[in-house]
């Protein structure tokens, strides 16, 4: 790229920064109280609680059934016959994300942002509600080996960002009923699920095969319109109006269509003469530079994290498919590579693993046995780490955003280095 092109690019970029600065000085901002304390994709603590509290007629919004009525209209259950005067809304009721009931009618809402579904999860929730209300829910109707529940008594709602499908073991018939079908081993799978800790506590006698009325709803087509309609109804109540607006912005982030108040670079480019090919060329060169730094990070700089950590070549060779390579490091910044890193031997029992995922750089500990990786026990709470899955490897780890902490790559991020050192020291004290 010609030197004059670079000059044009940086001149335009300086103009963009000046516009941003003036907008911020005028009070425009993208501050969101919800995402300052929680991740925008947090299903339980953010989304389920926010939706549940708005739906709850007895919540402190003091709007009685206003939001609940609007929600029932959106999902097509406004004429279903729910007695609003006696309706309660529960959040995380016996593992069910949202449970709406008037005592006679029941709505189960399973809320999935990005988390994976657990085996038999939907069937477990149906069993929980039926068992709790076994005196009032008719379980005598059978259809093809399943107990068919009255659609006027129980409904299952599956809420996702973009109409994600439930696990393949759950089937849906042409009348909109969901049921469990695990193939030839269906009964065996259901029995296995029945023995899980929370399941056998909530459901006595094992999971039964129910069929229940079911529908999928999405944040884009249902939750967002519901919030916008609800906001209009309370537009004169300042704090409530603002709270709903804050959550609308979060939902837009989940949907991938959030547009901030302060101009971003994309908007500037679309409205000015800034050449996209120049931006693309600069990005490519920056990506290659960052890729080189990421490769050096793994191959050279990270070895200084702690003198007790030594590279174990045998471990690395055994897990060659997970290892960092220069090309993979470069491709990561263009979004074409993920899940690679390096293993370091702490002793003959434990390994330190450092790898790059979709957006974060993770570090954690795993056990190894003759260079075959096995996880640290999930019940071992002494490390204070988050249990996570990585391909088929389950482990305990901490993570930080790589883009927001690029100083890691030049070994200037003491917090990251100290975090790993503390992890190793903690491990030493437990063995």
Whether 159 contacts 115, CB under 8 Å: no
Beta bridge partners of 211: 148, 179
Other beta carbons less than 10 A from residue 295's beta carbon:
19
Instruction: Give the pLDDT confidence of 372-393 residue by residue, as tens digits.
Output: 555 554 444 443 444 445 444 5
Residue appearing with tokens 């609007």: 70
- Which residues in 138-166 are b (16+ Cβ under 10 Å) and which e? eeeeeeeebbbbeeebbbbbbbbbeeeeb
* Closest residue by Cα to residue 82 from 55, 48, 62: 55
Q: Kindly state the average pLDDT of the residues 148-164.
A: 87
Q: Kindly state the average pLDDT of the residues 298-306.
A: 70
Give the residue with greater pLDDT, 36 vs 152. Answer: 152
Q: Is the overall model pTM greater than 0.75, yes or no? A: no
Q: Is the pLDDT of residue 223 over 70?
A: yes
Q: How far is CA 214 from CA 76, 152, 172, 178, 208, in A?
A: 12, 12, 8, 6, 17
Domain boundary assignment for the chain:
3-27+262-274, 43-226, 280-430
> What pLDDT does residue 65 have?
93
Give the residue with greater pLDDT, 277 vs 327. Answer: 327
Helices (H), 100-157: 121-132
> What pLDDT does residue 371 have?
47
Residue appearing with tokens 């607006």: 245
For strands 154-160 and 210-218, give the pairing.
parallel
Q: What angle do CA 116, 248, 108 make, to 5 degrees?
A: 45
> What pLDDT does residue 311 have?
54
> What pLDDT does residue 387 have?
43
Give the residue with greater pLDDT, 370 vs 112. Answer: 112
Whether 403 contacts 288, CB under 8 Å: no
């Amino acid at each position: 790229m010609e030197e004059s092109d670079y000059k044009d690019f940086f001149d335009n970029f300086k103009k963009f920064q000046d516009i941003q600065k003036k907008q911020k000085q005028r009070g425009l901002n993208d501050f969101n109280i919800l995402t300052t304390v929680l991740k925008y994709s947090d299903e339980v603590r953010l989304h389920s609680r926010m939706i549940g509290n708005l739906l709850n007629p007895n919540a402190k919004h003091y709007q009685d059934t206003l939001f609940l009525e609007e929600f029932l209209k959106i999902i097509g259950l406004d004429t279903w016959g729910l007695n609003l005067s006696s309706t309660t809304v529960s959040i995380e009721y016996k593992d069910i994300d949202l449970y709406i009931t008037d005592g006679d009618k029941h709505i189960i809402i399973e809320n999935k942002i990005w988390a994976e579904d657990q085996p038999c999860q939907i069937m477990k929730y149906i069993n929980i509600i039926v068992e709790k209300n076994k005196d009032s829910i008719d379980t005598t109707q059978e259809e093809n080996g399943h107990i068919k529940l009255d659609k006027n008594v129980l409904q299952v709602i599956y809420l996702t960002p973009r109409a994600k499908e439930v696990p393949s073991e759950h089937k849906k018939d042409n009348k909109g009923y969901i049921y469990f079908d695990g193939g030839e081993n269906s009964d065996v799978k259901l029995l296995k699920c029945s023995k899980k800790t929370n399941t056998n506590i909530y459901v006595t006698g094992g999971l039964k095969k129910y069929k229940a009325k079911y529908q999928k709803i999405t944040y884009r087509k249902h939750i967002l319109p519901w919030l916008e309609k609800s906001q209009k109804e309370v537009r004169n109540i300042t704090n409530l109006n603002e709270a709903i607006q804050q959550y609308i912005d979060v939902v837009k982030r989940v949907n991938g269509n959030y547009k901030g108040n302060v101009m971003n670079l994309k908007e500037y480019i679309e409205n000015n003469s800034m050449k996209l090919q120049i931006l693309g060329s600069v990005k490519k060169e920056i990506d290659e530079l960052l890729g080189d730094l990421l490769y050096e990070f793994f191959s050279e700089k990270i070895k200084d994290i702690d003198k007790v950590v030594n590279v174990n070549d045998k471990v690395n060779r055994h897990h060659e498919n997970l290892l960092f390579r220069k090309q993979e490091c470069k491709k990561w910044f263009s979004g074409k590579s993920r899940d690679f890193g390096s293993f370091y031997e702490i002793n003959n029992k434990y390994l330190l693993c450092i790898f790059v995922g979709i957006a974060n750089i993770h570090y954690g500990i795993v056990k190894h046995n003759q260079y075959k990786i096995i996880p640290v026990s999930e019940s071992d709470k002494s490390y204070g780490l988050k249990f996570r899955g990585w391909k088929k490897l389950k482990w305990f780890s901490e993570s930080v955003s790589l883009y927001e902490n690029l100083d890691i790559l030049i070994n200037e991020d003491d917090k990251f280095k100290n975090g790993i050192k503390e992890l190793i020291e903690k491990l030493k004290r437990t063995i």
